[in-house]
Amino acid sequence: MQKKMIYFDNAATSKPKPAEVLQAMQHYFENIGTSPGRSGYNLAITAGRIIMESRERIAELLGVPDPLEIVLTKNVTESLNIATWGLLEPGDAVITTAMEHNSVIRPLREREARGEISLSVVPCSPWGELDLTAMERAITPQTKAIFVQHASNVTGGIMPLEEIGAIAQRHDCLLVVDGAQSAGALPLNLANSAVDIFAFTGHKSLLGPQGTGGFYVKKDVAKQMKRFLCGGTGSRSEFETHPEFLPDKFEAGTPNTIGFAGLNAALKFLKNEGVTNIRAKEEELTAFFLTGLKSIGGIKIYGPADAKKVLPAVSFTIEGISPAEAAETLEEEFGIMTRVGLQCAPLAHRTIGTFPTGTIRFSFGYFNTQEEVQTGLLALKKITNSNR
């Protein structure tokens, strides 16, 4: 008999997706399959509507009134690159934190290595908590922007976005947020907030397919930004130069329409379930896991270790067993899939003191059950006991 597998790697990508996602993608493939915004026949208009509906649904989820301020990309990494390359001019200074994912750090380091910008990385505590005073102190007259994650993919720790926004506004800096982990996992209301750019990815808590993502950008900020991709948009085809208006300014080439058809269905699902309810369930699973984990000897938990202060991702190490070894046993003996190592965030691991071996990360999603989490705890108990 095939072993029942348990998926605890939702911070990497959510699995499973709602059934409606696949149905919508199949429907697109079988019945639509046309290029959006480029032709006038009915089926092309239908494809165009899918793209527009994506913008509208995302704007609603993020709490912003104008769907044209939603630019669609293929993932949060692409969105953060558009922000990094588009927003920052030679001579600008940027502030970021010591908990960032490589998708934030690498584009910034790339520009720093080219001698174009200077980068200040604000320290965080060994629990991943940001030093807000140090952040404010790091600001200079050259500081153009603060780049910060909304939540850590390593510890799940949620950053104090409001306080960071207040700092940004006090010093007239732009605020760019990596919302990879929080979009779909936390209720959001970005209208009238200090956030200038909020980057998201479709395949994590938004429950959509890989290859979908985007960013929200305030209109006046978009005006200041340069783009690095030009080409066909289906709009203003008479001109050899790329349009300046949103969202076309940052979108070139045929989009992943089948992917956005799936994301639309996922967004509809999220709306019906309610992000507040999703957050409540995921918080409950995390609290249950943390309580159990704290009762197992030989386990060290990283980050706030408080379900109210984290998204459903928990990083830990087991005394005497490497994360890689533990993950192998978890999969082979118990059918449990986890993510070990550095989780693409070496800087965060330096901060929490787990570089270079990293941690074992259990990350839960809306479709996980308490029973599965209990199975995970029992497996960890057996692993730690057999190691004594």
> What's the CA angle centered on 156, arms 71 and 77, to 5 degrees?
30
Contacts of 119 (CB under 8 A, 6+ apart): 93, 94, 95, 96, 108, 109, 111, 112
Q: Does 233 bind ligand PLP (CB under 6 A)?
A: no
Asked if 186 interacts with ligand PLP (CB under 6 A), we say no
Using CB under 6 A as the binding rule, whether residue 9 contacts ligand PLP is answered as no
Give the whole-angstrom CA distance, residue 234 versus residue 178: 29
The Cα-based distances of 301 to 4, 14, 212 in angstroms read 27, 23, 32
Nearest to 134 by CA among 99, 101, 106: 99
Of the candidates 125, 227, 344, 381, which one interacts with ligand PLP according to CB under 6 A?
A: 344
Taking the complex as a whole, how short is the minimal distance between the CB of residue 277 and ligand PLP, in angstroms?
Answer: 23
Q: In the bound complex, which residue of the shown chain has the CB atom lying closest to ligand PLP?
A: 153
**183: its two tokens:** 């979009």
CB-nearer residue toward ligand PLP: 74 or 300 = 74
d(CA 376, CA 297): 15
Q: Which stretch binds ligand PLP (CB under 6 A): 58-66, 173-181, 257-265, 360-368?
A: 173-181
Residues in the interface with ligand PLP (CB under 6 A) total: 14
Contacting ligand PLP (CB under 6 A), which of 153, 264, 286, 315? 153
Q: How far is the CB of 103 from ligand PLP (least distance, A)?
A: 4
Residue 178, interface with ligand PLP (CB under 6 A)?
A: yes
Cβ proximity to ligand PLP, 181 vs 368, nearer residue:
181
What mask of x and - would describe binding to ligand PLP in positions 50 to 79, judged by CB under 6 A?
-------------------------xxx--
Residues 6 or more apart whose CB falls under 8 angstroms from that of 5 comprise: 335, 336, 337
Determine the interface stretch with ligand PLP among 117-125, 174-182, 245-253, 258-266 (rule: CB under 6 A). 174-182
DSSP 74: S
Phi then psi for residue 9, to 5 deg, are -125, 40
- Per CB under 6 A, the list member of 54, 97, 103, 264 interacting with ligand PLP is 103
Structure tokens at 357: 């071996």
Nearest-approach distance from CB 13 to ligand PLP, in angstroms:
8
**Gap between the Cα atoms of 363 and 311, Å rounded:** 9
Judged by the rule CB under 6 A, the positions of this chain that interact with ligand PLP are 12, 75-77, 101, 103, 149, 153, 178, 180-181, 201, 213, 344
